[in-house]
């Protein structure tokens, strides 16, 4: 690991970030099927985790409850893209933020503020739905085709207007947004390719909660089922694309996320491309400044050629 990444790991210790998962497949090490996911923890670490579990849950619950009213307020302006840059001032690869289920672009406002840096490209966000907190009845492919393709075309036009060409983008997706980003990268990225796909608490292997609440035919929630064949195919094709060197994949997982467990949000990629947190739930990831800066320094900047 580079000195920058090592420094980032040290700086992130206070929020308990670590490499997330080891993938073991005794019969076929190179296979992406039948993978056993194990967290790299010693006996002492497991004891400490159990001892601190309740305090960590309380801390995360307080933090999440405190941010919900703020999310609610900023969501009053969910249709506005006022946080997007008005003028393109550099040719660095831009970042597109894709929110999750029953959410909107305003919920990225804190994260994008902390993510900013001189070595990063411009940051954009997209609305997936017509309403602030209700999903459109679209499947993952429809979202990618109708929302992401349109947004990236608009971004490309902005770059051309200000004298820059745009051929690549970095996508950061939260939960369902990661699936949609992956769908775009795999099947819709023609003029603008995806240099890196960073997913936060994305149900790559499905969610137990979705298994209980939804049928596979539900749009878009059916994509979250652990048995959904389309999500499985998307995951496997993306991994093949990553292994062919055509895209860089990164995953963030949270042990206190009750909806998407670490075994669901991790992928069989290198340890350097994964982060595991013991102090985040499904929603708090979008308001942690140290996490946003860690993602920027460890994953965004290495994928951003400098002018």
The domain tally of the chain equals 1
> pLDDT, tens digit, for every residue of 133-154?
889 999 999 999 999 999 999 9
Between CA 245 and CA 243 the distance in angstroms is: 5
Between CA 303 and CA 59 the distance in angstroms is: 33
Tell me, what's the pLDDT at 14? 31
Which pLDDT band, with edges at 50, 70 and 90, does 278 fall under?
confident
pLDDT greater at residue 188 or residue 284: 188
Tell me, what's the pLDDT at 41? 56
Domain boundaries, position 191: 3-303
Q: What share of the chain is helix, strand, coil (3-state, %, to 5)?
A: 45, 15, 40
CA R_g for the chain: 18
Between CA 151 and CA 145 the distance in angstroms is: 10
What lies within 8 Å, CB to CB, of 139 at 6+ separation is 219, 220, 222, 223, 230
Task: Assign residue 156 the CATH number of its domain.
Answer: 3.40.50.1820
Answering whether pTM is above 0.85, one says no
């Amino acid at each position: 690991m580079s000195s920058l990444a090592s420094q980032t790991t040290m700086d992130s210790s206070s929020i308990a970030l670590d490499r997330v998962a080891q993938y073991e497949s005794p019969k076929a090490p190179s296979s992406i099927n039948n993978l056993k996911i194990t967290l790299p923890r010693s006996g002492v670490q497991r004891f400490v985790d159990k001892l601190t579990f309740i305090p960590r849950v309380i801390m995360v619950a307080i933090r999440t409850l405190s941010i919900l009213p703020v999310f609610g307020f900023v969501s009053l302006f969910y249709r506005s893209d006022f946080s997007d840059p008005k003028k393109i001032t550099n040719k660095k690869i831009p970042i597109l933020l894709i929110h999750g289920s029953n959410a909107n672009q305003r919920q990225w406002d804190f994260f994008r503020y902390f993510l900013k840096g001189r070595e990063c490209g411009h940051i954009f966000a997209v609305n997936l739905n017509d309403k602030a907190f209700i999903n459109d009845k679209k499947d993952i492919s429809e979202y990618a085709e109708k929302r992401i393709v349109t947004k990236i075309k608009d971004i490309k036009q902005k770059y051309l207007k200000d004298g820059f060409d745009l051929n690549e983008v970095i996508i950061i997706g939260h939960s369902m947004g990661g699936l949609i980003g992956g769908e775009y990268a795999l099947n819709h990225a023609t003029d603008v390719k995806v240099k890196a796909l960073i997913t936060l608490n994305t149900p790559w292997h499905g969610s137990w909660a979705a298994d209980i609440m939804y049928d596979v035919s539900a749009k878009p929630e059916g994509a979250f089922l652990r048995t959904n064949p389309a999500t499985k195919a998307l995951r496997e094709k993306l991994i093949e694309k990553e292994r062919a060197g055509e895209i860089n994949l990164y995953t963030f997982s949270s042990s206190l996320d009750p909806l998407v467990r670490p075994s669901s949000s991790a992928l069989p990629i290198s340890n350097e491309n994964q982060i595991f947190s013991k102090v985040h739930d499904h929603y708090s990831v979008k308001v942690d400044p140290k996490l946003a800066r860690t993602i920027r320094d460890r994953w965004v900047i290495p994928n951003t050629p400098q002018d």
